[in-house]
Amino acid sequence: MKLVIGIVRPEQANQVLEALHRAEVRGFSISRVQGHGGEMDRVETYRGTTVQMGLSEKVRFEVAVSDNFVDQTVQALCEGGRTGEVGDGKIFVLPLDHAVRIRTGDSDEGAVTPVSK
Amino acid sequence: MNGGIDTGDTAWMLVATALVLLMTPALGLFYAGLVRSKNTLNTFMMSIAAIAVATVTWAAVGYSLAFDGSGDLVGGLGNAFMQGVDFSPHAGTAIPELVFFAFQATFCIITTALISGAVVERMRFGAFLVFAAVWSVVVYAVLAHWSFGGGWLFERGTLDFAGGVPVEMASGFSALAAALVVGARKDYGRQALLPHNAVYVLLGAGLLWFGWFGFNGGSGFSTGQNSVLAFTNTLLCPAATLVVWFALDLFRGRKVTAIGAATAIIVGCVLITPAGGYVSPGWAMLLGALGAVPSYLLIVWRTRTRVDETLDVLAAHGTAGFIGILFIGFFAQKAWNGVSDGLLYGNAGQLLDQVLADLAAPAYAFVTTFLLLKLIGAVMPLRATDKEEAGGMDVSQHGEEAYATGEGAILLLPEERLGVPVADPG
């Protein structure tokens, strides 16, 4: 089991969702985060106060998958998230020790495999 | 009375003018709530831009082209740069020309702002400024002349109390043309593009309704009977529209929606705009009820098409203005308005005058706006780049965000500003 974390541009989040859907990856959660990854900074001015915005809005996908779904998930995140410009984001794959589906008490592989009906 | 000026009329018109000016920021709020959060400021700023640009063009030539002289198609330049606009009463009223000028200016402003609804989330701000400046003269001032200022519709006796022709049909059909020329947002039809703040939408609609009492109630330029009738009809007609809209929502989706209610308020106010001072309170309520249906159906249908007339200016303003003008042809009642009867009261000629306005105004607005935007598009890009559109118009057009948290913002001292934007790509 792996936990795949993908950090993407908010405007690409929809494409990522579609790519995950096509790859039949069904369970995930997303959150809005702010981060910095070496992209060009934006300069904004508010009533004479000029600031350099060092953090950009990003969307963070967390997908817990069984080992044979890792490649498809990473590929879907890449496919949906890529624009080719600096700031497209990163993907991290982490080992996952234990998972439980709260409703049934299923654990590990059983918990991260989508219910088929 | 003092030099032909009535103090009561003037006092009311001063207030009415301020009420109508409030409608434009209210429209900005209404529109801002309907777009995605990354485009909030740009959308709001288009309405503010209309106040800036259309006021200046109105003072320069717009007012004169609309209200100077009785040419069939367009007025003269006798009042250009506000020559002769002073304390003496405006012809046919007991209010100073200056007040009349300011009141009419607020109409030009809101009408120009209305069209932005068709092009939000992708049109370049600079291109919109140019468009607003030219449109406020070549479309608004001309149609205002036709309807209010002694042009051919006015001379025929077409009844248009507060601007079904120059405000509602002009903005609605121009919006359709603008949406076609500027083109759809790149995400349109591929993603769900949802309103980001329904509370703004409701508050904006509420403030618009409030301002509309000045818009319609002031269009008699007095505190006379037509003004009072229009004022009260501005309460009755939108209320009837709301009730019918609730029913249509219930029938279609089993739930009454908030964004639908806000839309219904606008549609109801538009419906009564041309008819306010001409139909009885009872007929005003019928107008509100009947008129809800075509706008509702058009909004439902339009979203299934490829036409990204984003905030449905055609359905809310064009269609409802069309219905309002037509309705007068049937239900106008001399006993109430002191001017003319409609078909129902034995005057078929009035219906013909109304139908002519309904044919000519949409055609002029659509064609002129279409050509105007093609022309501006030949000189400068109308649209932001795909990348700017994706990142949001607030940052790309204005260098600001509506909901900036301040986290990660580094203060730049004046001597540092030259070096940015650069970041170490390592």
Instruction: List the domain boundaries for chain A.
Output: 2-112
Range with the lowest mean pLDDT among A104-108, B38-42, B361-365?
A104-108
Residue among B36, B412, B415, B418 with most chain A CBs within 10 A, to mutate:
B412
pLDDT in tens, B303-352: 999 999 999 999 999 999 999 999 999 999 999 999 999 999 999 999 99
SS3 at position B138:
helix
List Cβ neighbours of B276 (8 Å cut-off, separation of 6 or more).
B161, B162, B216, B217, B219, B229, B230, B231, B233, B234, B284
CB pairs under 8 A between A and B: 66
How high is the pLDDT of residue B426? Answer: 38
CA B286, B292, B295, B300 torsion-angle sign: negative
Report if residue B327 sits inside a domain.
yes
pLDDT in tens, A33-91: 988 877 766 788 888 888 888 888 899 999 999 988 899 999 999 999 999 888 899 99
| Pairing assessment for the beta strands A89-95 and A29-35 based on DSSP bridges | unpaired
Report if residue B394 sits inside a domain.
no
Buried residues in A50-82 as b, exposed as e (16+ CB within 10 A): bbbbbbbbbbbbebbbbeebbebbbebbbbbbe
Query: What percent of chain B has a predicted confidence (pLDDT) above 70?
Result: 97
CB contact under 8 A, A44 and B420: no
CB B265 within 8 A of CB B208: yes
* The pLDDT of residue A105 is above 50: yes
Residue B425 banded pLDDT, cuts 50, 70, 90? very low
- Count of domains in chain B? 1
Report chain A residues whose CB lies below 8 A from the CB of B426. 38
A46, A51, A86 member nearest B410 (Cβ): A51
B25's tokens = 């920021």
- Of A2, A12, A23, A4, nearest to A88 (Cα)? A12
* The pLDDT of residue B422 is above 90: no
Report if residue B368 sits inside a domain.
yes
Mean pLDDT of B150-167: 96
CB contact under 8 A, B421 and A44: no
Domain limits at B273?
10-384
- Of B180, B120, B129, nearest to B389 (Cα)? B120
Range with the lowest mean pLDDT among B172-181, B390-399, B416-425?
B416-425
Query: Topology of domain A2-112, per CATH?
Result: Alpha-Beta Plaits (3.30.70)
- Of B308, B357, B309, nearest to B175 (Cα)? B309
Question: B183 to chain A nearest CA, in Å?
Answer: 20
Q: To the nearest 10°, the Cα dihedral for B270, B276, B281, B284? A: -30
* The pLDDT of residue B424 is above 60: no
How high is the pLDDT of residue B69? Answer: 86
List Cβ neighbours of B82 (8 Å cut-off, separation of 6 or more).
B59, B63, B101
Whether A11 and chain B come into contact, CB under 8 Å, resolves to: yes
Report if residue B393 sits inside a domain.
no
Whether A75 and chain B come into contact, CB under 8 Å, resolves to: no
DSSP element (H, E) containing B320: helix B320-331
* The pLDDT of residue B413 is above 90: no
Interface predicted TM-score (ipTM):
0.76
CB contact under 8 A, A38 and B424: yes
Mean pLDDT of chain B: 95
Residue B185, domain CATH: 1.10.3430.10
